[in-house]
Amino acid sequence: MKIINLEKLLPADIPVGERVLWHGRPDPVSHFRRAFRADYVAAYFAIMTLWNLASGSADEGLAFGLLSAAKTIAAGVVALGILGFLAWLSARTTLYIVTSRRVVMKVGIALPIFFNLPFNEITSAGVRVYKDGTGDINMMLTPERRIAYIHLWPHAKPFGINKPEPALRSVPDAAELSAVFGRALIAAANERNGVVQQASGNPVAWPLADVPMRDPAPSHKNADARNTDVMALS
């Protein structure tokens, strides 16, 4: 088994007491289907195959129609094969880390890039869970922290070109990870807001009461996806 040295992936100035809560990679199959849109590519070639079969048969005869359909299928297989290889490479070279204070993303196939996202730069987060249990967790950053969409892709919320949001794409057990991530965000926000002392001397964290909720922006959704609550942090 390959041992991952997480310490090399975290900033050198990690405060004492910061803990790694979760680390993992995208699920290759889910990454292939969702991040690289393989389902849509397959559907496109399926439609084109039927079209070429029908039009070719009507114009030049059944043999010509079958030949046109076979060529379309071959092109589709090649296209999906290339996408599948890229998706596997992307998943294989990616590492997401969630600590008690930040999210670290190691992405990039040829040239690894590290994104260090402290919780105080994350204003809200949302999760989309698919039927197979995988899902995407996207993070909206403060206006001061902007990362270009081209630098993030495919590790970004789909179609968020104008307002790029880093995302943990196609992660296994997304619902469980979102719960861990949500608790860590709330704990960090409460700590930033401060801890006061009651008259009895017991520490009480300031609660995040009546925090606003950010509705997910309209986007193209897969049929097997469902959006869960989106949490905003003050």
pLDDT digits (tens, 9 = 90+) for 160-169: 888 899 999 9
Query: What top-level class would CATH report for the domain 18-26+95-232?
Result: mainly beta
Would you kindly state where each structural domain of the chain is located, as residue ranges? Answer: 18-26+95-232, 34-90
Q: What is the torsional sign of CA 140, 144, 145, 149?
A: positive
Regions of the chain with pLDDT less than 70: 1-15, 194-234
E-strand stretches of the chain: 20-24, 95-99, 102-107, 113-118, 122-130, 135-141, 167-171, 195-197, 203-205, 225-227, 231-232
pLDDT digits (tens, 9 = 90+) for 109-137: 888 889 999 999 999 899 999 999 999 99
CA torsion 115-120-30-96 (nearest 10°) is: 50
